[in-house]
Amino acid sequence: MAYSFDVVSPVKRMVKNVLRVQFKRDYDEEPIWGTRRSMRDILYNPLYMMAYMLAVPLFGAGVILLIVKYFERRSTVYVLTNKRLFLSKGVFSQTHDEIEISRIRDTRSHQTVFERLIGVGSIYVSSYDRTGNIVMKSIEDPHYKRDQIREAANDLRDNY
């Protein structure tokens, strides 16, 4: 006997929230992935942690900085669909940006030695759009996600 569960994962919920905010959502638009900025580079980097711990005696500034970084990263969301790449960021005032996949000119991923050890990196997306360039920092598995952006762009170009 097979059971069907309708479980909404946090990533699916995040993707739905970002797409819900957009004004001109196409109903044939399918999400490919959605991600937030990772906390790995802060939590596993000994230099960051030492700086925050040294700042703790200064009126709890280290804890406050860590909390601010946490909310800053949790509020930055990237969503790739088969038609657009969305960027949503901001805790109190929010900025929503998008690039049409067909207008992406080039993508590049970058990882420092430390980022390679912890599995995060940056993705640079340049476009012909007025948005220009987008830098997605602290992304888990950046090479794979960059390849998915490129494949989505190629698929959209091949269909037209």
Residue 142 or residue 96, greater confidence: 142
Beta carbons of 101 and 84 less than 8 angstroms apart:
yes
Kindly give the interhelix angle for 46-55 and 61-74, rounded to the nearest 10 degrees: 130
pLDDT in tens, 24-52: 555 677 888 888 888 877 766 667 667 76
Give the phi and the psi of residue 128 in degrees, each rounded to 5.
Answer: -85, -5
Structural element, H or E, at residue 94:
none
Structural element, H or E, at residue 105:
strand 104-110
This prediction has a pTM of 0.76
pLDDT in tens, 59-90: 566 677 777 878 888 888 899 988 889 888 88
